[in-house]
Amino acid sequence: MPISDGILPKSTDRINRALAAGAYSEIKRYLNPNDKKVSVSLTEGKQLKIGSTVTVQIRSKIKGNLVVLDINSDGDVVQLFPNVFSGPKAVISRKVVEIPGENYGFKIRVKKPLGESRVLAIVGPPSFNTAAFIAEPGTTRGLAVEESPPSYFLAHIVSQIKSELSNKGLGIKPSTDWAMGEFGYVVTE
C-alpha cells in the first residue's frame, strides 16, 4: 500500500502476505512449474491496462481439477477460478481451457495495484476438492472476478498436496497427479 494513502497496512496484512509468499514457495517446491506439465498465458499478453478484461488460457499434460489464482504486485492472492459464477471444472489432458470461457457469466477485469504480478494454474487429482475453495463475492485488487478468498488459501492447497503425497509415500517428490504453471504479467495505467 503506498505511503501517500496515509494508511499503514495492518500487521495482520503483512503476516498474511508473508504466509502466502511462504505457501507459494512451498507449492513451487512440490509442483515444480519448470516441468512444463501446465502452461498458462493471458490472451491479451504480458502488459495489461487497468480496466481491460483478460482471458486466461491453460493447457495441461495431465487431467484433473483446476484452480486458477492471481498473486498481485502487493502479494495478495485472488482466486480467479473456480468462483461463485462458474463452479469447478475438470481439465482434459492436452486440451486448452479458457477462463472465462463462452457462457461462463463473468469477466476477469484488470484492477490496481500496478506492477508485476502472476497467474498460477494448479491441476490436481479428482480428490482435489476445488469446490471447497469457492469464496463469496467481495472486492479485490489486481485481476479480479469480484472474489477475495482468505489469505490462508495457498496454505490450504499446500496442505492438500502434502496429504496426497504422504498418502502415496512420496514425501516431497513430484507427483504425476499434480501440476502447476504460471504466467507473469505487468499491470499499467
More confident residue, 4 or 178: 178
| Range ranked top by mean pLDDT from 21-30, 50-59, 122-131 | 50-59
Q: CA 87, CA 180: separation in Å to the nearest integer?
A: 20
What is the model's pLDDT at position 152?
57
SS (H, E, C) the chain: CCHHHCCCCCHHHHHHHHHHHHHHHHHHHHHCHHHCCEEEEECCCCEEECCCEECEEEEECCCEEEEEEEECCCCCEEEEECCCCCCCCEECCCCEEEECCCCCCCCEEECCCCEEEEEEEEEECCCCCHHHHCCCECCCCCEECCECCCCCHHHHHHHHHHHHHHHCCCCCCCCCCCEEEEEEEEEEC
What integer pLDDT is reported at residue 166 of this predicted model?
A: 72
pLDDT of residue 135: 58
Mean pLDDT of the residues in the chain = 78
pLDDT digits (tens, 9 = 90+) for 137-175: 554 445 555 443 444 567 777 777 777 777 666 555 556
**Residues 59, 44, 83, 159, Cα dihedral to 10°:** 50
The reported pLDDT for the residue numbered 13 is 58
Residue 91 · residue 58 · CB < 8 Å:
yes
Q: Mean pLDDT, to the nearest integer, of 116-140?
A: 77
* Domain 3-188 -> CATH class: mainly beta
Task: Copy the grid coordinates of residue 36.
Answer: 512444463
pLDDT higher at 101 or 164: 101
Residue 85 confidence (pLDDT): 82
Give the domain ranges of the chain.
3-188
Could you tell me which residue, 92 or 161, shows the higher pLDDT?
A: 92
Average pLDDT over residues 171-186: 80
Q: What is the pTM of this model?
A: 0.78
User: Strand pairing of 115-124 and 56-60?
Assistant: unpaired
What is the model's pLDDT at position 5? 33
pLDDT in tens, 33-70: 778 899 999 999 999 999 999 999 999 999 999 999 89
